[in-house]
């Protein structure tokens, strides 16, 4: 048990509408089980694009900035603009690692939070905190640097489990 956090990307396909002119099917195999997918019935594709384990400072940021303070393991829409803000905060914190301002910047932009099975906080295990900052920077940099097709509708969603 513990705090698991997922970030999903949902890409709208709209193949179920005839004007989209989608044809064919896709055959995939999962664990040696063949699955035939009729492409004309696909409305969206959901991908896992980020995963954290016990990164309570990142979870706390989502709760405060996306979930209106509700920590309830629900599925929340996250705008790309919010993801950019989170990345900016991560960059500010990482830029101040080892400086006299470090603790102030950590507490101002990405403080740790308490919670049942939420893992260590900044003061108890700073190495864990910094590892999660680097992980978050990698996840968000990859997502935000991907080339976007303006004709494709993409949404992001955050969900936690504990």
Average pLDDT, the chain: 89
Q: What is the pLDDT of residue 39?
A: 77
Domain that holds residue 140: 4-158
pLDDT of residue 113: 81
The whole-number pLDDT of residue 122 equals 67
Token pair belonging to 54? 């016990």
**Cα 43 versus chain centre, distance:** 22
Query: What pLDDT, on a 0 to 100 scale, did the predictor assign at position 27?
Result: 81
Band (59; pLDDT cuts 50, 70, 90): very high
Percentage of the residues of the chain whose pLDDT score is greater than 70: 91
C-beta of residue 54 within 8 angstroms of C-beta of residue 2: yes
| Cα distance between residue 108 and residue 102, in whole Å | 10
pLDDT tier at 86, thresholds 50, 70, 90? very high
Confidence tier at 15 by pLDDT (50, 70, 90):
confident
Mean pLDDT (whole number) for 51-68: 95
Closest CA to 89 of 128, 116, 53, 62: 62
Contacts of 94 (CB under 8 A, 6+ apart): 130, 133, 134, 137
> Against a cut of 0.85, is the pTM above it?
yes
Burial classification of residue 139, based on how many CB atoms lie within 10 Å of its CB (0-12 exposed, 13-18 middle, 19 or more buried): buried
Count the domains in the chain.
1
Could you tell me the two tokens for 42?
Answer: 């696909």
Compute the distance between CA of residue 62 and CA of residue 78 in angstroms, rounded to an integer.
Answer: 9
CA distance 28 to 34: 6
CA-closest candidate to residue 158, choices 54, 14, 4, 2: 4
């Amino acid at each position: 048990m513990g705090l698991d956090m997922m970030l999903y990307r949902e890409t709208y396909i709209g193949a179920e509408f005839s004007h989209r002119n989608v044809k064919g099917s896709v055959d995939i195999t999962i664990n040696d089980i063949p699955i035939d997918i009729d492409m004309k019935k696909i409305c969206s594709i959901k991908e896992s694009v980020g995963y954290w384990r016990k990164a309570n400072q990142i979870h706390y940021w989502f709760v405060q900035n996306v979930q209106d303070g509700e920590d309830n393991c629900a599925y929340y829409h996250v705008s790309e603009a919010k993801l950019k803000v989170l990345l900016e905060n991560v960059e500010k914190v990482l830029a101040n690692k080892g400086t006299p301002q470090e603790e102030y910047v950590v507490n101002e932009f990405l403080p740790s939070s308490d919670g049942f099975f939420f893992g260590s906080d900044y003061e108890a295990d700073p190495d864990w905190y910094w590892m999660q900052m680097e992980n978050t920077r990698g996840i968000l940099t990859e997502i935000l640097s991907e080339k976007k097709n303006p004709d494709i509708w993409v949404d992001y969603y955050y969900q936690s489990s504990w």
